[in-house]
Chains A and B, each alone.
Chain A
Amino acid sequence: MTVPLADPYLLPMAALLTAIGVTEIYRLGPGNAFRQGLWIVIGVAAFGATLFWLHKDYRALEHYKYVFGVTAIGLLFLPALPVIGETVNGSRLWIHVGSLQFQPGELGKIALIVFLAAYLREKREVLAQGRLKDWGPLLVIWGGAMLVLFATNDLGSALLYYGIFLAMLYVATARISFVAAALGLFLVGAFGLSYFTPHVQDRVTNWLSPWSAHKIYCPLVGHDALRQDCQSYQLVQSLYSLGHGGFGGTGLGHGIFTSTSGGQVIPDLNTDFIYSALAQELGLVGVSALLLLYMAFVLRGFRIALAASDGFSKLLAAGLSFGFAFQTFVIVGGITRVIPLTGITLPFVSYGGSSVVANFLLVAGLLLISNRANRQEAGA
């Protein structure tokens, strides 16, 4: 075994989450489950390869921080390219080569976390002093990522990247004022954006009042309609799915996802909205258990960060763990109307190859860090 002293809980939890995901994907469409299975094989292969290559010392990655930074932007930029880029639901965040679809933003997330961990480890003292010169490369890479995300309308990822950046910045600099300033900036930015970009404004309106009493113009069909029949249709029907599940759920396989006419009620059910499918079939009991599983995973992740002895490892583990938690929060919080809904995958559970591969890489990273920390402890 390449990482004999790694955390023993993470991989089983990841496997359990993957199994829950595949089960529900199979229930919603057996064909997709087969494809998801293939991606899991690829993900596990990538996981194994990462462990094999980096098990001596993953900290070598630190030297290639700018490579990771630029790679992150490059990956994010791929869907915007002609020919291979593809627009899905008004957001351009897919690439397709042949019949293969891929959402590179998921991998970009891992690359950006590596870059941030390395950069912040090196510059944490000087950053805390607030010299503009030291902030430069950070803001260029991170700002670039945010710009690309807005240009491709990937608001979910933009929110996720912002959250990860804030958390890692706080861990590195211990300056709560930075966090406060960034949060303020975020609010001002979001407020401003909602005025100028209808895409953002729509999300906020749908969040605050998904049901309208009067008909308003619906760009999807070109005439007036109630908001719940148009812009907020997906969110509202997903809430109905939760409500229909209730406390105990309908039972696996007995949920209602097709309308009386045979069409699918909730679009993107097996990707962004898999949580509403699970909530209907497993009920509050089932999805609460699922969320507790996520909490346990995140807890183990932060334990690894605490146990790690060097700054890069701590920042990397924290970034990966927080990213994992925050991604769950962004999509489930969106579905349950805690925050405006922005489409993003539910880690390990949603259908989608890039998501599966990225999450297995995330686990590989955490295992490498814990292996090293435990080895040092045992050696000391």
Chain B
Amino acid sequence: MNKQLLHVSVAALVLLAALIVSTTYWQTWAVGDLADRQDNAIQLVARLTVDRGKILGAGGTVLATNRKHRKHGLTTFTRRYPAGHLAPQVIGYSTAAGTTTGLEASLEDYLTGANTNLSNTFSQELDKLGGKTVHGDNVILTLRPALQSLALQELQGRCGAVVALDAKTGAVYAMASSPTYDPNLIEQPNGFAKVLRIKGSCGDSSALVNNATAGLYPPGSTFKMVTAAAALDSGAYTPSSVFDDPGYCVEYGSHVSNAGNPDQNGPEAFGSVTLEQGFEHSINSVFCNVGKHIGGEKILEYAKRFGFYSLPPLDTPPSTSQQSGLYKNGKLWFPKDSNQIDPGRLAFGQFNMLATPLQMALVAATIADKGAEPKPYLVQKIVASDGSTVATTSPQTLGHPIKASTAAELNRMMQLVVQAGTGTSAQIPGVAVAGKTGTAELGLGTVYDAWFVCFAPANNPRFVVSVVVEKQPNGFGGSVSAPIAKAILEKLLGT
């Protein structure tokens, strides 16, 4: 009988050994998968036991912090947003149920202290065994709360967005989106439904959407920066190239008329003008002819160099940004050949062209930065709970879409716009401002999207500002958005 006994005892031990193997699988191999499961009730509580890192503005203003609770012998933390409606589309929110958006989502690993490396894994494991609270890393943003507040104030509840960048580094100083909401509402009863009902004065905007990165607006004449860049950089034109402006441009056998601009007190037809003057007064016929000559594909090629057709890199989740480019039926559209593009209308920023305020700010930043496009960023620094620096953002260049000489020519042309063209209301005494207006037709009669994209001081650019205000009746870029941009620039320049 002993032989059988041996067999059975081996079988019993193999069964028990199999349990060690299976337990090892679940407690090492599968740990990540299990933690990521939506229905993980334990992970949900575990998330709340972490003292989530604070999110701070540039001056140390607290934008997101925690409220501490003690219940069932467990210390938990829930999120609180002292700055309320200031920048919820950028910062996002983190709920007790585990939903995260915005920076709260993309910086989750830092905020929860889950970004382990060799040096802190051991101490974290010890802390865990000791039952100590895990403290997440604090995040310091480039956003300036006072500037952000000013931007929202200037927008006065109108739908739109304001983006302010450091011209050289790409640091985002303001990223205001209107309509906005108070993220503290989200976890209140019916709070989310209340937020969803916020539509803004334009009637169809969502407070949850970051209009600065995901708002797609026809860029109108601000797109002339791209067209002019293509015209000059390719060598097809110089700023002094002469055009005849009869008040319209002939395309496909019919007239494409100039838009009525507020500074056009004289005749709508300018007659013989240079490219530079065409830019200064935002004359559509001039750019229509430029477009016809260099072709729609050339314009699109330069747009792509500036970052159209790709997501601008930013610290927020990619899902909260949109690509600028040609759109058809609500989808990004890739024309098969030049015949599908209307080069004349594309040249002045109509014809299915949609752009985000951030993208247009990056175009201006490239011109300001002598042809080098800075990479925008929101996170200045990540600091551990013990005060040690975890990561610091160093400015990066995305590329060089245009030559330095082209940038210098465009810079000068943009200065003319503010000095004597369509953007005179952005003038700041003692500071040379370079800008471009845009008054985009929406097919709604005299209701326009008003744009102003600018930088200052023009001779040594420090700040870039991009403003869009949606659906303004008789609202022009120069009259509606330029004053907002001016106020932001003044605050930044400290004048």
Which residues 246-290 of A sit at the B interface, judged by CB distance below 8 A?
Answer: 246-251, 253-254, 256-260, 262, 265, 279-280, 283-284, 287-288
Interface status of A244 (Cβ within 8 A of chain B): yes
Binds B, one of A93-101, A131-139, A170-178: A170-178
Contact A336 B22 (CB under 8 A): yes
Chain B's closest residue to A226 (CB) is B39
Within 8 Å by CB of B24, from A226, A284, A305, A329, lies A284
Distance in Å from the Cβ of A317 to the closest Cβ of chain B?
Answer: 9
Task: Give the interface size bracket for B toward A.
Answer: 35 or more
Within 8 Å by CB of A321, from B9, B46, B71, B72, lies B9
Task: Determine the distance from Cα of A250 to Cα of B407 in the docked complex, in whole angstroms.
Answer: 59
Contact A237 B42 (CB under 8 A): yes
Task: Determine the distance from Cα of A259 to Cα of B33 in the docked complex, in whole angstroms.
Answer: 20
Contact B19 A242 (CB under 8 A): no
Task: Determine the distance from Cα of A267 to Cα of B89 in the docked complex, in whole angstroms.
Answer: 40
Measured between beta carbons, the chain B residues less than 8 angstroms from A236 are: 37, 39
Distance in Å from the Cβ of A218 to the closest Cβ of chain B?
Answer: 13
Interface status of A26 (Cβ within 8 A of chain B): no
Q: Do A251 and B128 contact each other (CB < 8 Å), given the known contacts A243-B30, A299-B9, A302-B12?
A: yes
What 1/0 mask marks residues of chain B from 29 to 53 whose CB sits below 8 Å from any chain A CB?
Answer: 0110111010111111110110000
Task: Determine the distance from Cα of A30 to Cα of B99 in the docked complex, in whole angstroms.
Answer: 35
Interface status of B16 (Cβ within 8 A of chain A): yes
Contact A245 B19 (CB under 8 A): no
Chain A contact residues: helix, strand, loop or mixed: helix
Task: Determine the distance from Cα of A226 to Cα of B37 in the docked complex, in whole angstroms.
Answer: 13
Interface status of A162 (Cβ within 8 A of chain B): no
Chain B's closest residue to A245 (CB) is B27
Contact B31 A329 (CB under 8 A): no
Measured between beta carbons, the chain A residues less than 8 angstroms from B331 are: none
What 1/0 mask marks residues of chain B from 407 to 434 whose CB sits below 8 Å from any chain A CB?
Answer: 0000000000000000000000000000
Contact B1 A314 (CB under 8 A): yes
Interface status of B444 (Cβ within 8 A of chain A): no
Task: Determine the distance from Cα of A311 to Cα of B26 in the docked complex, in whole angstroms.
Answer: 41
Contact B8 A291 (CB under 8 A): no
Within 8 Å by CB of B23, from A171, A302, A332, lies A332
Which residues 170-206 of A sit at the B interface, judged by CB distance below 8 A?
Answer: 170-172, 174
Chain A's closest residue to B78 (CB) is A260
Interface status of A59 (Cβ within 8 A of chain B): no
Q: Do A171 and B27 contact each other (CB < 8 Å), given the known contacts A229-B39, A325-B15?
A: no
Q: Do A295 and B16 contact each other (CB < 8 Å), given the known contacts A332-B23, A333-B22?
A: yes
Task: Given contact pairs A240-B37, A260-B96, enumerate 12 new A-B contacts (beta carbons under 8 Å).
Answer: A171-B5, A174-B4, A226-B39, A243-B31, A251-B129, A256-B49, A279-B23, A291-B20, A294-B16, A298-B16, A329-B15, A332-B19
CB-CB nearest 9 A-B residue pairs: A243-B34, A302-B9, A336-B22, A325-B12, A284-B27, A329-B15, A242-B26, A251-B129, A171-B4
Q: List 16 A-B contacts (CB under 8 A).
A: A239-B30, A251-B128, A257-B42, A259-B45, A260-B44, A262-B71, A284-B28, A295-B17, A314-B1, A314-B5, A321-B12, A328-B19, A336-B19, A336-B25, A337-B22, A338-B18
